[in-house]
């Protein structure tokens, strides 16, 4: 089983960094995936506009633990805006890649961090600062984060839910990649997994 994971994934799984909780955190973010059962909670401390400390607690598979550890390392010392720019793809790349059926774990890690930052802004009574757009050659069209957009109207949704608040339509979650899928779909458009007929 270990052969499907990169050396970096195995390192962060066997020796995870920043595990635990922060007393009196400035922000807390929690996410979960009901399909695979992964749950992640991130605590952050903020000094000025910079994340001075990050801790996490994760209940899940080895990939989920490795992702949490990597996200905590990537976020520590960054400004809030820089941390908001950490993407699911960044996490997977820093871990040397993840198996297709584990890619949803990287989504959870980035989402948990972003929720902790959003929680910090809420506690401060400040508007959430948007992530800066890439410039120059790196500029690209920003698409909804895979796994977090309604399959009907593309509005951001929590994959742990089953109904899109803006459009009111019900969706299911792909058991392979954990992304929202149209209820009537027979195949996941993201990973190609065959879905049970509804």
Catalytic residues: 36, 105
CB atoms within 10 A of CB 76: 18
Tokens representing 141 are 């069209």
Closest residue by Cα to residue 44 from 120, 104, 110, 101: 120
Tokens representing 75 are 């976020």
Q: Rounded to an integer, what distance in angstroms lies between the CA atom of residue 145 and that of residue 150?
A: 10
Q: Which residues contact 4 (CB under 8 A, 6 or more apart)?
A: 99
């Amino acid at each position: 089983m270990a052969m499907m994971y990169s050396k970096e994934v195995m390192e962060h799984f066997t020796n995870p960094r920043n595990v635990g909780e922060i007393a009196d955190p400035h922000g807390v973010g929690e996410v979960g995936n009901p399909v695979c059962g992964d749950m992640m909670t991130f605590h952050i401390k903020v000094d000025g506009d910079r994340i001075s400390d990050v801790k996490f607690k994760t209940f899940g598979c080895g990939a989920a633990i490795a992702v949490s550890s990597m996200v905590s390392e990537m976020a520590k010392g960054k400004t809030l805006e820089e941390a908001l720019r950490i993407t699911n793809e960044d996490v997977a790349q820093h871990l040397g890649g993840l198996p297709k059926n584990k890619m949803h774990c990287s989504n959870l890690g980035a989402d948990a961090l972003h929720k902790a930052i959003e929680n910090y802004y809420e506690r401060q009574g400040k508007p959430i600062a948007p992530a800066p757009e890439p410039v120059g050659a790196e500029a690209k069209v920003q698409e909804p984060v895979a796994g977090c957009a309604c399959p009907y109207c593309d509005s951001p949704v929590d994959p742990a839910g089953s109904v899109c608040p803006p459009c009111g339509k019900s969706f299911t979650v792909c058991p392979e990649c954990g992304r929202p899928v149209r209820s009537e779909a027979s195949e996941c458009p993201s990973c190609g997994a065959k879905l049970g007929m509804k």
